[in-house]
Amino acid sequence: MRSVKSTNTKPEERFAAAIEPLALEFTRNPADIPGKPDFYFASIGVAVFIHGCFWHGHDKCRRGVVRPKANAEFWNAKIEKNRRRDRRVARLLRNQGIAVYTVWECRFRGKVPPKRVLNELIDRSRSVLSRAESIRAETS
Ligand SMILES: [Zn+2]
């Protein structure tokens, strides 16, 4: 699967710095996990994708909505293809019991402090843990 963005882009580095206090082990772009998430936390079952707003069509910010005037059709098709793939990958991961946490690039442009992203990640992992516990309870 071809990646639309290079690895080790700036937002990913900032995310890595933000989660450092958690002291959670993670792998970056693991080949054996669907979609090769930017960060994968095996111990808490969370896959994190840092999405560029333009390439992944973030519908909540200007950069994700505005298209270049030239070749608008080409860009629309390309971005729609990325969005479809993102949804497919998210489904695959959820089916494997892995929570998906998408971090939009615009959140690292001073709008949302990294600490809040951190809290969301922890919340996400909690929901996975409680879901795992309820599955355990059902099967025991
Ligand atoms: Zn955005």
Going from the Cα of 63 to the center of ligand 1, the distance in angstroms, rounded, reads: 6
Using the mean position of ligand 1's atoms as its centre, give its distance from the Cα of residue 103 in Å: 9
Examine residue 19 and state whether it is found in any structural domain, yes or no. yes
pLDDT digits (tens, 9 = 90+) for 33-60: 999 999 999 888 899 999 999 999 999 9
CA of 130 to the centre of ligand 1 (A): 30
- pLDDT grade, residue 1 (50/70/90)? very low
Average model confidence (pLDDT) across the chain: 83
Residue 22 lies in a domain: yes
Any idea what the CATH number is for the domain that residue 107 is in? 3.40.960.10
- Separation of alpha carbons 18 and 26, rounded Å: 13
Sheet of 39-41: strand order equals 39-41, 46-51, 99-104
- Residue 90 resides in a domain: yes
**48 in a domain, yes or no?**
yes
Is the Cβ–Cβ distance between 48 and 16 less than 8 Å? no
Q: Residue 24 domain-assigned?
A: yes
Between residues 109 and 62, the one the model is more confident about = 62
- Ligand 1 centre to CA of 105 (Å) is 6
Q: Domain span at residue 103?
A: 10-113
pLDDT at 69 > cutoff 60: yes
In Å, what is the CA distance from 116 to each residue of 19, 36, 89?
11, 24, 25
Kindly give the distance from the C-alpha atom of residue 51 to the centroid of ligand 1, in angstroms, as a whole number. 8
pTM: 0.78
Residue 132 lies in a domain: no
Q: Which two tokens stand for residue 67?
A: 């298209």
- Judge whether 102 lies within some domain: yes
Q: State the distance from the centre of ligand 1 to the C-alpha of 127, rounded, in angstroms.
A: 25
Total structural domains in the chain? 1
